[in-house]
Amino acid sequence: MVADDKPASTFKYSEKPLYTTSNGCPVENPEAFQRVGSNGPLLLQDFHLIDLLAHFDRERIPERVVHAKGAGAYGEFEVTHDITDISSVDMLSKVGKKTPCVARFSTVGGEKGSPDTARDPRGFSIKFYTDEGNWDWVYNNTPVFFLRDPTKFPLFIHTQKRNPQTNLKDATMFWDYLSTHHEAVHQVMHLFSDRGTPYSYRHMNGYSGHTHKFTKPDGTFNYIQIHLKTDQGSKTFTNDEAGKMASENPDWNTQDLFDSIQKGDYPSWSVYVQVLSPEQAEKFRWNIFDLTKVWPQKEVPLRPFGKFTLNKNVENYFAEIEQVAFSPSHLVPGVEPSADPVLQSRLFSYPDTHRHRLGVNYQQIPVNAPLRAFNPYQRDGLMAVNGNYGANPNYPSSYRNMTYKPVKPTNEHEKWAGAAVSFLSDVTDEDYVQANGLWKVLGRQPGQQDNFVGNVSGHLCAAKEDTRKRTYEMFSKVDADLGRRIAEATERLAPAPTSQAAGSAQSRL
């Protein structure tokens, strides 16, 4: 607070606040510093200069280990259709009910300064400030992912980042991993279709990918997957357009989102749910905990239930978007994670990285703070800035009355039993079926199969020869013609066999 009792950050441009040091001492000239005479050394007593430098030295916090480059805004979710027959989530309890939210979109592999139009999946995260706590949807713009065994996540991500020796993106690392882990091929088909280079964040869909559970107080539940379909229409760049934009305006998607909202052209998404009862899930062809598979829409139709709109830009990017902390474990009564092992691992990983990136009290940062929370048993720690629950007891005291809301259903949902095992999934013929389905979907859209072949070959040609060959074999298992076309197109672009550079060459994307 400053002298006139206003929090310092609330001054408007039209006002003329008194400039002070960080401890509130008025300063005559922010550019002046203290020294001996007009040519001598500086003085340790110059708190203004030393504090300014010391604070500047600490301006950077760790960037997100993945999804470092992103943009976001505020908005709202509105229930458009009644789904109370399957959901007891308070936010979804009534048609017309609105819930405020903040969203962040991102690329995955690049650093904070990397181009927005890189070929990559896009993150699609929303934090809903519901009356019963924050509910985070930490989704992607693809309905599947590269893996179903969580241990592979750090290993896979390393191959999409920089070579430890050259510090370059490395096409051999990239395809070496993918061509030896064929469960990834369905996601690779999405990534190298033109949807791997969306025109903007406003023109892409979002998918939960994982199966979750909608639970009811009577103990019954359904398995669900959520889809957000862009109301702006799906629109993509070609590979060449994306590359051109990367050099002309590397922040294109960030700018597009900000400018649209600023001029009142609010992007929105229609929100749907796919529902399977436990009995249906039991008989389903696909393992519903396998993140590399979709639930075919003809068999499990999309049921509409909401509209999500972004309508307000942030005031301060760092405070509100860099510091926003999403986690699949930020859930509310009525929704639970499924047994999907990748989702289960994510429940741990996100709060863990938030503690590292933002500190143990990350939930106190205004953009992360729930509408109301009362948790006085979590005390102290770095940056406890919310009053630290004052004189409230820090244990369940018999002298302090509290209300406890029974949120757990009374019946058991799922019963698991089995020996503790070391598990790793196998790749089977089933792993190529949905990838083949997508190849056929691309075939229904003029030019999309050609673009796919061009997108893969333009990247794969920089990999070593044996890696390239293994990759042709992988695509041949999806479709023989696809494998042949990729082999032909790639070999036309690949360097001569004698070139020592092949393999360590920087990927072209």
What residues act catalytically? 67, 140
**Shortest gap between Cβ of 78 and ligand HEM (angstroms)?**
22
Contact 463, 199 (CB under 8 A): no
With CB cut-offs between 5 and 8 Å by kind, which of ligand HEM, ligand NDP, none does residue 434 bind?
A: ligand NDP
Question: Whole-angstrom distance between the N-terminal and C-terminal Cα of the chain?
Answer: 49
Residue 458 half-sphere exposure toward CB, CA atoms < 13 A: 15
**Shortest gap between Cβ of 380 and ligand NDP (angstroms)?**
45
How many other C-beta atoms lie within 10 A of the C-beta of residue 47? Answer: 16
In terms of CB distance, is 347 or 493 closer to ligand HEM?
A: 347
**Shortest gap between Cβ of 313 and ligand HEM (angstroms)?**
16
Left if phi > 0, otherwise alpha if psi is -120 to 50, otherwise beta: which for 389? left
Residue of this chain nearest to ligand NDP (CB atom): 437
In terms of CB distance, is 40 or 233 closer to ligand NDP?
A: 233
With CB cut-offs between 5 and 8 Å by kind, which of ligand HEM, ligand NDP, none does residue 349 bind?
A: ligand HEM
**Could you tell me which residues come within 8 angstroms of residue 451 by beta carbon, excluding any fewer than 6 positions away?**
193, 194, 238, 239
**Shortest gap between Cβ of 285 and ligand HEM (angstroms)?**
22
Annotated binding residue 350 = yes
Contact 138, 326 (CB under 8 A): yes
In terms of CB distance, is 196 or 209 closer to ligand HEM?
A: 209
Measure the CA–CA gap between 58 and 52, rounded to whole angstroms: 10
Which H/E stretch holds residue 503?
Answer: none
3-state secondary structure of 407: coil
Measure the CA–CA gap between 142 and 193, rounded to whole angstroms: 11
In terms of CB distance, is 106 or 236 closer to ligand HEM?
A: 106
Alpha-carbon torsion (124, 161, 456, 438), positive or negative: negative
Q: How many residues does the chain have?
A: 509
With CB cut-offs between 5 and 8 Å by kind, which of ligand NDP, ligand HEM, none does residue 143 bind?
A: ligand NDP
| Amino acid symbol at 166 | T
In terms of CB distance, is 323 or 434 closer to ligand NDP?
A: 434
Contact 149, 481 (CB under 8 A): no
Q: What is the crossing angle of helices 465-478 and 448-460, to 10°?
A: 160
The residues binding ligand HEM (CB under 6 A) are 64-67, 70, 104, 106, 123-125, 138-140, 145, 150, 153, 209, 291, 325-326, 342, 345-346, 349-350, 353-354, 357
With CB cut-offs between 5 and 8 Å by kind, which of ligand HEM, ligand NDP, none does residue 438 bind?
A: ligand NDP
Residue with the two structure tokens 């598990």: 423
In terms of CB distance, is 372 or 444 closer to ligand NDP?
A: 444
With CB cut-offs between 5 and 8 Å by kind, which of ligand HEM, ligand NDP, none does residue 150 bind?
A: ligand HEM
| Amino acid symbol at 424 | L
- Give the burial string for 486-501 (b: 16+ CB within 10 Å, else e): bbebbeeebeeeeeee
With CB cut-offs between 5 and 8 Å by kind, which of ligand HEM, ligand NDP, none does residue 161 bind?
A: none
Residue of this chain nearest to ligand HEM (CB atom): 123
Contact 134, 152 (CB under 8 A): no
3-state secondary structure of 476: helix
**Shortest gap between Cβ of 68 and ligand NDP (angstroms)?**
25
**Shortest gap between Cβ of 436 and ligand NDP (angstroms)?**
8
User: Nearest Cα to 224, choosing from 89, 130, 346?
Assistant: 89
**Shortest gap between Cβ of 145 and ligand HEM (angstroms)?**
4
The residues binding ligand NDP (CB under 6 A) are 143, 190, 193, 195, 205, 227, 229, 234, 294-298, 434, 437-438, 441-442, 445, 448
In terms of CB distance, is 202 or 468 closer to ligand HEM?
A: 202
With CB cut-offs between 5 and 8 Å by kind, which of ligand NDP, ligand HEM, none does residue 125 bind?
A: ligand HEM
Q: Which residues are annotated as a binding site?
A: 350
Q: Which residues are annotated as a binding site for heme?
A: 350
